[in-house]
Amino acid sequence: MQFAESDYCYGTGPLVLRVTGVGADLGRYPQLEWLSLRGVELRRDGSAGPERQVLVRTSALSRAG
């Protein structure tokens, strides 16, 4: 999933993340504004970078692809 700098906490440029875990169930908590995601950051060349845990705006999830 790709996130714009404004869609995750402390963003410094776009973030591409291969998500491996989600911190909450949006079906159970539909009013959440931020969601904790865990995953592997992907570099521009597509190679795997460091593992990351980030807070992402839930509204960005439908725009991320």
pLDDT (tens digit per residue) in 20-50? 999 888 778 778 899 999 999 999 999 999 9
Helix (H, G, I), strand (E, B) or coil at 29: coil
Percent of the chain at pLDDT exceeding 90:
68
Across 23-43, b (16+ Cβ under 10 Å) vs e yields: eeeeeeeeeeebbebebeebe
| pTM of the complete model beyond 0.85 | no
Could you tell me the CA-to-CA distances from 17 to 30, 31, 49 in Å, in that order? 22, 23, 9
Q: Give the pair of three-digit tokens for residue 2.
A: 């790709």
